[in-house]
Amino acid sequence: MESGVLVLAGPTASGKTELALELAERFDAEIVSADSRQIYRGMSIGTAAPTPAQRARVPHHLVDFLDPRERYSAARFAQDALTAIAAIQARGRRALVVGGTGFYIRALCGDVSLSAAFDPALRTRLAREARLHPTQVLYDWLAVRDPDRAKAVAPSDPYRVVRALEIALTAGRESESGGTAHASLPGAGLKFIKVGLEIASEALDERIASRIDKMLASGLLDEAQRIGAGAIAADAVGYPQALAYLTGQLTSAELRTLLIRATRRYAKRQRTWFRSEPSIRFISHEDASNSLARVARELPGWA
């Protein structure tokens, strides 16, 4: 019997990485990242990707493999994650999916319909709409068409709003004509448990501030300059602020303040998303390691 898959979700800076490393070492598991920005090469500082030392401790998958100028999708993630999971299980090891990108996790767990289809006419139309109307207008359209998908993106992020709207409209047409299944854990016949990591707001705020200081000291500005404003991945939290500082629009104090504020807002959106996640179990940040281990043992092949 194939081992089940444990999925660990939580907001940024909540401690998922260290918790996952500890659990992976405890259960001879490998980690599959579910982070929409850690997939990109050369962005390890701003995305808080696992360090080389951490990746030496436990094998990681879907980290640092994509050019920052290349587009990626939840459907592609789900397929790539299943491929990684199959390879892990073929080696006789367990798979632990860890990340904060709620839509990726929901896609992998089969709780949302996706379309991998590309409709050039629709994309051209939406690009024209984006030029004619404020992003908020398109976001409102998305919220009416697909409220769950709208929760996963910021109303002020034009690329993500347009892409989400494209997927929502395409998925709607496919649904009317019978639909198209995408890769998922249920579709692959794999048992899984989703666990959400809860942490007090005050503690999370402190961890975020500490992370921002560490990022700045580690070279976030150099990394942002190297990635450049033209990269698709440059809209990740932290990079617009860093680029604004580099062009003289912010002081160093303003940069730190805006980085912390943007990260806290992102974490808030993540927490709101995960609270509505289907079939998720929450564990407290306190004694999280033992709690997660107890849940893991309920899966086939983890006892």
Half-sphere exposure of 256 (CA within 13 A, CB side): 10
Can you read off the two tokens belonging to residue 77?
């993630």
Which pLDDT tens digit goes with each residue over 16-31?
Answer: 999 999 999 999 999 9
What is the pLDDT confidence band of residue 86, given thresholds at 50, 70 and 90?
very high
Q: Is the per-residue pLDDT at 215 higher than 80?
A: yes
Strands (E), the chain: 5-9, 29-33, 60-61, 94-99, 192-198, 280-284
| pLDDT (average), residues 197-219 | 98
Read off the pTM.
0.81
Query: Average pLDDT of the chain?
Result: 91
Of 72-76, 246-250, 259-263, 299-303, which range is least confident?
Answer: 72-76
CA distances from 61 to 30, 66, 81, 84, 155 (A): 8, 12, 8, 7, 30
What is the fold, at CATH topology level, of the domain defined by 120-176?
Histone, subunit A (1.10.20)
CATH number of 5-112+182-296: 3.40.50.300
6 contacts 192 by C-beta, under 8 angstroms: yes
Within the chain, which residue ranges are assigned CATH 3.40.50.300? 5-112+182-296
